[in-house]
Amino acid sequence: MEGCTVLLAVQIPETLDSRSAYSDEKVVTYATDTSYQPVMPYETVRYVEKKEWKLNDVASGRVSMEEFAAQLDAAQLADLCCGTGWGVQDENNPVIGASSESVPGAAGETTHALESYGVSSIVLADGPGGVRITQQFEATDLESGEKRQVYHYCTAWPVGTLLAQSFDPEILEQVGCGMAADMQAMRIDLLLGPGMNIQRDPMCGRNFEYFSEDPLISGKMASAMVRGLQSLPGGGGCIKHYAANNQETNRNAVDSVIGQRALREIYLEPYKIAIQESQPLSIMSSYNLINGVPTADSYDLCTDLARGEWGFEGLIMTDWNGGSSTPWKSMHAGNDLIMPGGKGRAMNILQAVKTVMPEFDERGQVIMVQEVPFAPVFAARWNSFTVDPEGPDTVMAPLGEGHTAEMKDGEILVDGEKVYMQANDMKTFFNDPASFVPKICPANEEVAFILDDGRAIGYKGHLDKKPRLCLGDVQRCAVHNLRIILKCMGL
């Protein structure tokens, strides 16, 4: 065979690209108002009848989930896509009794605002090492009205790394079953675990929660634990943190720059395995960015991959406070639930769908809403309006009965007192709480003027009238949330 050339057939492996071209985006808006027209190029509209449906009508098959969601207005949909919990003014009060849904010490809940539609709140609790809630608390008994001490004792389970060293999915499933029993006893609907990030950096402060540096082991162990967590009706798991959140340094905002092959074969593979083998009820997106895009704002991760390629059927929620993500962008991406939510984030979503006029009190001052229960930090409800002395738009704030505005030394006074336009931020409060001033920027002649003989104040600025989302974007996320709420309700 001297002088012969041997040709070998070599198959070049294909590298799948997780980045979408956004060429196949399609969103359906279900509208009860026949005058509603598409506002986005990717949007189509289907008109449905306006009826007073309840969520149990969906369970009985009388109406589809999309038709039910169409009965809710944009503000209600935004509330449904924003939860409550740590760090926000919580609408839910801890009670005990036959209809109890709030659990002190839980990480958060979905909204109670739609109970008139038969939509219950579901409770979310940490974590990968077992249920974490307040062990002892005082609560009001709904039946007697008396206050009493309540004690919750939960099982402490071995950490994820130790469990994975068994290399035995059956053990992980049994542990998940044990956690499910605790969840049912404590009225927890979703356990925020298992954690399944790849153990890339040995200095990562949460490596103990995760299973392995190996994507196959991580995926198999997570899917086994989820099967256990979902072995009892009405509860489920939440695989996290999706994805590539592997270091402690700048954990909340780091940009994980990863090539497509490494991303697919190492960092996304565990989630693919867990989704396809156990279908968890929920996924938690991560704080970090991947290749410049916050994970909660990534259409590629939330919609194209999780739902499109892998067949995920549950809801996707942000990690608490969402890292660098923006609520309205998360809605478009398919990140369905903003945690811990709050009215400010719901307003961010609502303003992306429609123009929301500013809100004023009877003195013509923009309404200031306290954002957190532990500090005098407020958010000014200018909504879709931005104050600007060069702005082309004006809004009018009528004064209530008995109030009069005047201009004095270049500032507007109402009943002799200043009218403020902004609030100081949280960073300023923590830097110097002793001298912190909650409300700042008095209304002055550059941006404000008096109307109607002192009975109204006008403000100059820009009114944002351009939608950034269609109603169908928020409806789609609400539908994902409602399906899991329905499952947790046992309907």
Residue 55's CATH number: 3.20.20.300
8 A C-beta contact, residue 235 and residue 176: no
Question: Residue 321: what pLDDT?
Answer: 92
Domain count, the chain: 2
Q: What letter represents residue 159's amino acid? A: V
In a domain, 225, yes or no: yes
> How would residue 427 be classed by pLDDT, with cut points 50, 70 and 90?
confident
Question: Residue 431: what pLDDT?
Answer: 87
> How would residue 12 be classed by pLDDT, with cut points 50, 70 and 90?
low
Quick check: 168 pLDDT over 50? yes
Angle at 249 between CA 245 and CA 255, to 5 degrees: 50
Determine the number of helices (DSSP H) and then strands (DSSP E) in the chain: 13, 26
Please indicate, yes or no, whether residues 372 and 400 belong to a single structural domain of this protein. Answer: yes
φ, ψ dihedrals at 368, nearest 5°? -110, 125
How much is the average pLDDT of 26-53? 96
In a domain, 387, yes or no: yes
8 A C-beta contact, residue 351 and residue 357: no
Nearest to 340 by CA among 484, 152, 192: 192
Please indicate, yes or no, whether residues 306 and 394 belong to a single structural domain of this protein. Answer: no
Cα distance between residue 402 and residue 190, in whole Å: 52
pLDDT digits (tens, 9 = 90+) for 195-236: 999 999 999 999 999 999 999 999 999 999 999 999 999 999
φ, ψ dihedrals at 269, nearest 5°? -55, -45
Nearest to 289 by CA among 332, 257, 337: 257
- Range with the lowest mean pLDDT among 10-19, 144-153, 209-218, 400-409? 10-19
Nearest to 321 by CA among 282, 255, 371, 356: 371
Nearest to 256 by CA among 212, 210, 222, 287: 287
How much is the average pLDDT of 276-292? 98
Question: Residue 4: what pLDDT?
Answer: 64
Please indicate, yes or no, whether residues 278 and 426 belong to a single structural domain of this protein. Answer: no
Quick check: 99 pLDDT over 50? no
8 A C-beta contact, residue 356 and residue 464: no
Q: Which residues span the domain enclosing 415?
A: 355-463
The SS3 of residue 407 is strand
Pairing state of beta strands 289-290 and 255-256? parallel
pLDDT digits (tens, 9 = 90+) for 66-87: 999 999 999 999 999 999 876 5
| C-alpha atoms less than 13 angstroms from C-alpha of 74 in its C-beta half-sphere | 21
Give the predicted TM-score (pTM) of the model: 0.90
Please indicate, yes or no, whether residues 223 and 124 belong to a single structural domain of this protein. Answer: yes
Cα distance between residue 79 and residue 111, in whole Å: 7
Q: What letter represents residue 238's amino acid? A: C
In a domain, 19, yes or no: no
In a domain, 442, yes or no: yes
The SS3 of residue 260 is helix
Q: Which residues are catalytic?
A: 319
Nearest to 425 by CA among 380, 366, 365: 380
In the beta sheet, which residues pair with residue 30? 46
Give, in order, the Cα–Cα distances in Å from 136 to each of 128, 146, 151.
21, 16, 5
What is the 8-class DSSP label of residue 8? P
Pairing state of beta strands 95-96 and 315-317? unpaired
Please indicate, yes or no, whether residues 456 and 474 belong to a single structural domain of this protein. Answer: no
In a domain, 166, yes or no: yes
First to last CA, the chain: 75
8 A C-beta contact, residue 104 and residue 94: yes
Cα distance between residue 462 and residue 388, in whole Å: 7
- Range with the lowest mean pLDDT among 157-161, 320-324, 399-403, 421-425? 421-425
Please indicate, yes or no, whether residues 177 and 137 belong to a single structural domain of this protein. Answer: yes
Quick check: 97 pLDDT over 60? no
How much is the average pLDDT of 444-472? 96
Question: Residue 328: what pLDDT?
Answer: 98
Question: Residue 377: what pLDDT?
Answer: 86
Question: Residue 56: what pLDDT?
Answer: 96
| C-alpha atoms less than 13 angstroms from C-alpha of 351 in its C-beta half-sphere | 19
| C-alpha atoms less than 13 angstroms from C-alpha of 460 in its C-beta half-sphere | 13
pLDDT digits (tens, 9 = 90+) for 342-360: 888 999 999 999 999 999 9
> How would residue 96 be classed by pLDDT, with cut points 50, 70 and 90?
very low
Nearest to 193 by CA among 176, 205, 177, 170: 176
Quick check: 93 pLDDT over 60? no
Please indicate, yes or no, whether residues 228 and 265 belong to a single structural domain of this protein. Answer: yes
Please indicate, yes or no, whether residues 377 and 392 belong to a single structural domain of this protein. Answer: yes
Question: Residue 92: what pLDDT?
Answer: 47
pLDDT digits (tens, 9 = 90+) for 236-255: 999 999 999 999 999 999 99
In a domain, 35, yes or no: yes
> How would residue 60 be classed by pLDDT, with cut points 50, 70 and 90?
very high
In a domain, 22, yes or no: no
In a domain, 4, yes or no: no
Please indicate, yes or no, whether residues 389 and 305 belong to a single structural domain of this protein. Answer: no
Pairing state of beta strands 95-96 and 136-141? parallel
Please indicate, yes or no, whether residues 105 and 71 belong to a single structural domain of this protein. Answer: yes
How much is the average pLDDT of 181-187? 92
How much is the average pLDDT of 12-39? 80
> How would residue 104 be classed by pLDDT, with cut points 50, 70 and 90?
confident
Question: Residue 14: what pLDDT?
Answer: 65
What b/e readout covers 17-49, taking b as 16+ CB neighbours within 10 angstroms?
A: ebebeeeeeebebbbeeeeeeebbeebebeebe
Please indicate, yes or no, whether residues 213 and 291 belong to a single structural domain of this protein. Answer: yes
pLDDT digits (tens, 9 = 90+) for 292-318: 999 999 999 999 999 999 999 999 999
- 3-state percent breakdown (helix, strand, coil) of the chain, nearest 5: 30, 20, 50
Question: Residue 18: what pLDDT?
Answer: 61
Please indicate, yes or no, whether residues 347 and 359 belong to a single structural domain of this protein. Answer: no
